[in-house]
Structure 1
Amino acid sequence: MRLLTSTPPLAWTAAAWCTAALAGVAVPVLFMLVLLATSTPLALASGPIFTLGLMGVGIISAATAGHFWIGVVLALVNAACLIVLAHSLGMPALSHPASTALAMVIASGSFAARGALFAKTLSHRGWLMALFVVAGEASVLLLASVFPGALPDWFLALLPAQWASIAIQTALTGTGTAAAMSVLIALAGTAATTLLAARLWLHRWPYLLMFTAWLGLSALVYFWTAPTAPGADLAFNASAAAQAPPIVMALH
């Protein structure tokens, strides 16, 4: 505690922005390069990668700046840059651009809302809580992606990062918004209740509403989650191979 109070706020701010860049930009780019080196189509694994970019920048930026909209805007700008990079590395054009944009906007709002709440309740130390949340959910997201079935479905249904990953992946390789309706509702619902708790943070009842809504929306995701259509995955994979640049084709 002494370290937290004796460190100048400017140093904390610089560290927070560097952490946001590392977690939301550098790590997703590194994962893209790893997928490229292992000849894995980016489109089939980009949901977790884009989610990490949105979450890392959205939560930490909002917690650092203390403003919800700063987290949203920076997260979306970062996601757009990651999509451009993914295209340059061989990912084909988005099959459902409107669904992808909708999923990313709602996800960025959900993440930034938590960052704004951390800033309101923890002041300039809010980004530390944001970093803890990002590290924890990113670890679970990575484990679930690399080892499908290793974690129980009920546990994954509790994580907003998993909701965002499902929504984005479904938009990229599935049937679009309709198939991910439950997770989109969950992300929007948690964003609304979290913003309410941040606005009325001196009262207790918004927190009760926020946690109750989180559990209820987690149940919604658990009992009503439509997976990506298998046929869409295969078609998208074939399209990715056909449109990949020479460097990607050489790896195959």
Structure 2
Amino acid sequence: MAGSPAAWVTAAVAGIAAPAAAMVVLAAGNDSAPMAVFGGPLLAVGLMGTGMIAASAAGRLWIGVGLSLIAGACLVLLAHALGMALPLHPLSVALAMLVASLSFAARGALFARSAADKGWWIAVFVVGGEAAILATAVALPKSLPAWLLTLLPAQWASMAIQSALTGAGTGARGAIAALLALAGTAATTLLVARLWPRRWPYLIMFTAWLALSALVWHQSA
């Protein structure tokens, strides 16, 4: 696989090491298994960190998707080792992880196409920003406006995965909207990457992002 060694190390740290360390700390200080309470955000950050940075470093969508799914599976197995029961709806969890991985990797592939070997740096900043907002929302509920969270694909992934992990499956209204939003942004992002350097597809991508954010907002209300 091509790409800077620093990019791959960063992807491993952001996608596996950091969420795993948080999981261990939460498991040590919480009577409940960490995935039952924080599984959605932790897995969303893991998938995003691995998928987006790996895809931007390699310049290949499938590498980002594959490594993202591997990271997610590793985190689920770690959670099980820490005491979490296996998900009641494993297919729902797998579906949510697949769609989220595709969406995150699509953005990484676009960064690689538009910024070449500097694309993974953009991915790092995006991952860091979304992860920080997600962590703040988890640590300090209601400290951030709901509309801000609704704009974040990481929050969409968190919603869909948490719903699957806690037994509601991906059939819950908010989870379905989140999955549609992730799939829609993946499609429009890949369109932009395919047609690069044309600029007009960005209008489609950003319009779809706002429309899908509104859908998630409406269905989660």
TM-score by length of 2: 0.95
Distance 2:150 2:167 in 1: 19
Q: Which runs of structure 2 are paired with 1:124-135 in the superposition (5 Å)?
A: 124-135=117-128
Alignment pair present for 1:61 and 2:54: yes
Match of 1:166 in 2: 159
Query: Given that residues 108 and 123 in structure 2 are in contact (C-alpha distance below 8 angstroms), is that contact kept between their aligned partners in structure 1?
Result: yes
Distance 2:117 2:24 in 1: 34
Match of 1:41 in 2: 33
Match of 1:199 in 2: 194
Q: Which runs of structure 2 are paired with 1:206-221 in the superposition (5 Å)?
A: 206-221=201-216
Alignment pair present for 1:139 and 2:132: yes
Instruction: Tell which deviates more after alignment, 76-85 or 59-68.
Output: 76-85
Q: Tell me, what secondary structure is at the counterpart of 1:45?
A: helix
One-letter amino acid of the structure 2 residue matched with residue 191 of structure 1: A
* Structure 2 residue corresponding to 1:182, chosen from 177, 201, 216: 177
Q: For residues 75-112 of structure 1, give each alpha carbon's deviation from its aligned partner in whole angstroms, at most 9, with x where no partner exists.
A: 00111111111100001011111110000000000000
Distance 2:135 2:193 in 1: 29
Distance 1:185 1:80 in 2: 22
Aligned-residue offset at 1:120: 0.1
Aligned-residue offset at 1:41: 2.3
Alignment pair present for 1:71 and 2:64: yes
Query: Given that residues 183 and 225 in structure 1 are in contact (C-alpha distance below 8 angstroms), is that contact kept between their aligned partners in structure 2?
Result: no
Query: Given that residues 193 and 210 in structure 1 are in contact (C-alpha distance below 8 angstroms), is that contact kept between their aligned partners in structure 2?
Result: yes
Aligned-residue offset at 1:174: 3.8
Distance 2:137 2:53 in 1: 23
Query: Given that residues 189 and 217 in structure 1 are in contact (C-alpha distance below 8 angstroms), is that contact kept between their aligned partners in structure 2?
Result: yes
Match of 2:78 in 1: 85
Match of 1:32 in 2: 23
Q: Tell me, what secondary structure is at the counterpart of 1:135?
A: helix
Q: For residues 102-155 of structure 1, give each alpha carbon's deviation from its aligned partner in whole angstroms, at most 9, with x where no partner exists.
A: 000000000000000000000000000000000000000000111111111111
One-letter amino acid of the structure 1 residue matched with residue 176 of structure 2: M
Query: Given that residues 107 and 164 in structure 1 are in contact (C-alpha distance below 8 angstroms), is that contact kept between their aligned partners in structure 2?
Result: yes
Query: Given that residues 20 and 61 in structure 1 are in contact (C-alpha distance below 8 angstroms), is that contact kept between their aligned partners in structure 2?
Result: yes
Distance 1:25 1:99 in 2: 21
Instruction: Tell which deviates more after alignment, 37-46 or 77-86.
Output: 37-46
Q: Tell me, what secondary structure is at the counterpart of 1:177?
A: helix
One-letter amino acid of the structure 2 residue matched with residue 171 of structure 1: A
Runs of 4+ in 1 over 6 A off after TM superposition: none
One-letter amino acid of the structure 2 residue matched with residue 225 of structure 1: S
User: How well do the aligned residues superpose, as a CA RMSD in angstroms?
Assistant: 1.1
Q: For residues 30-79 of structure 1, give each alpha carbon's deviation from its aligned partner in whole angstroms, at most 9, with x where no partner exists.
A: 10111112124212111111111100000000000000010000000111
Distance 2:78 2:60 in 1: 28
Match of 1:98 in 2: 91
Query: Given that residues 47 and 166 in structure 1 are in contact (C-alpha distance below 8 angstroms), is that contact kept between their aligned partners in structure 2?
Result: yes
Aligned-residue offset at 1:178: 1.3
Aligned-residue offset at 1:157: 0.4
For structure 1, the residue ranges without an aligned partner over 5 or more in a row are 1-9, 227-252
Q: Tell me, what secondary structure is at the counterpart of 2:144?
A: coil
Instruction: Tell which deviates more after alignment, 122-131 or 38-47.
Output: 38-47
